Structure 1
Amino acid sequence: MLKKPEINEYPPYYKEYVNNVPDGELLQILDDQQKETKELLKDLSEETAEYQYAPGKWTIKEVIGHITDTERIMCYRLLSIARGEKGMLPGYTDDDYVKRGQFNRFSQSDLLHHQALVRQHTILLLSSLDEEAMRQRGNANGSEVTALAIAYIIAGHEIHHRRLIKDRYLRETLSNSYNDLKG
């Protein structure tokens, strides 16, 4: 069983993500949370999936695209560091990636399918790595990080965004639907 990374294994700005991850078997947590995200979003209409809770904020589709793109990037970093890469791995600007991803042109179902495939890849990669590989340190986006910490960041990142979807998107859309019924 993988143990949560120590605070010195990742940059401080990832602390929330690492702390979001519950105790337990990480591979099972990753598998379960992907199913939970799919369950949360599977019945949304396409209109609701393109809802923005405020001007300039991402739609739910864009959030799912962002989660998937981030996991792809983090998996590359995890693999590189686990294999002993010593060069600095580049950062990325998530707003630019979301804009270029044009996620609103995809169906919600397709986006969730992409996310599930990426998650399967993540789980397969993690299950192939031994303890030594997971403890490898590398440099991503100008900061030192372990492969293990990246695995926890992936899990915590999805949890973070699922909470935002519940709190800022779904609660608001349910409230608007209720007000429409009253009105």
Structure 2
Amino acid sequence: MAVTYTKGTDVALLDPAELAERLAAVLRGAMPWLVTLSEDEATAQAEAGKWSAKQVIGHLTDSAVNNLGRIVRMQLAPGESLPGYAQDGWVRVQHYAERGWPEVLALWFALNEHVEWTIAHVERKSLANGGTVAGQGLTLGFLIEDYVAHMEHHLRALRADLARAGCRFDATGV
């Protein structure tokens, strides 16, 4: 968790409902163009050594799994030390590249709808709960904000990579 995607807002200014809505907006913005990808487009790597769309969305699925656990644990046991995860290994051993695009996309969307639901039900005071993730001290509020920013980062990069590869999108969004 050494890379962060947001500077973070003062937790006193954060609201779980707004954080959940931010995530919902990212999902609503991305799905219309993600569903237009063909199996071939989702499987192709933009360049050697880069993840395909399936692998990027698989990585974001793994992020959902890991961060959902962190969001729950930081509410139940503030101050706990939580592990990071080996993102390349997770993507590799789950074989997202070989799975059908509709299944990869559906899993990512369903998990993130649940993450959104869970965030919406976080008690506001819990956003100040601290913990350690992969050795980095942070608050639950920061974790959630950074989760959404991380997703936005990857979706913007994926869309740009796909556009450079010649994909045409009929829909707008992240």
Q: TM-score over 0.5 for the alignment?
A: yes
TM-score (norm 1): 0.80
Q: Give secondary structure in 2 for the equivalent of 1:138.
A: strand
- Give the aligned partner of residue 52 of structure 1: 45
| Shift in alpha-carbon separation, 1:144–1:60, aligned structure 2, 3 A | same
- Give the aligned partner of residue 72 of structure 2: 79
Aligned-pair CA distance for 1:128:
1.7
Aligned-pair CA distance for 1:13:
3.1
Structure 2 residue 136 is matched with structure 1 residue 146: no
Q: 1:124 is aligned with what amino acid?
A: W
2:4 to 9, 14, 24: 14
- The 5 Å alignment of 1:1-183 reads 13-16=3-6, 25-174=18-167
Aligned length: 162
Between Structure 1 and Structure 2, whose CA radius of gyration is higher?
Answer: 1
Q: Is the 8 A contact 1:75 1:122 kept in 2?
A: yes
| Shift in alpha-carbon separation, 1:70–1:17, aligned structure 2, 3 A | farther
Q: Is the 8 A contact 1:83 1:133 kept in 2?
A: no
Q: Is the 8 A contact 1:71 1:118 kept in 2?
A: yes
TM-score (norm 2): 0.84
Percent identity reads: 22
For residues 63-112 of structure 1, give each alpha carbon's deviation from its aligned partner in whole angstroms, at most 9, with x where no partner exists: 00001111210111121112224331111111111111100222211112
Q: Is the 8 A contact 1:87 1:139 kept in 2?
A: yes
Unmatched 5+ stretches in structure 1? 1-10, 176-183
Aligned-pair CA distance for 1:122:
0.8
| Shift in alpha-carbon separation, 1:18–1:111, aligned structure 2, 3 A | farther
Runs of 4+ aligned structure 1 residues displaced above 3 Å come to 15-19
Aligned-pair CA distance for 1:26:
2.0
Q: Give secondary structure in 1 for the equivalent of 2:165.
A: helix
Considering fraction of residues, name the structure with more helix. Answer: 1
Q: Give secondary structure in 2 for the equivalent of 1:100.
A: helix
Unmatched 5+ stretches in structure 2? 169-174
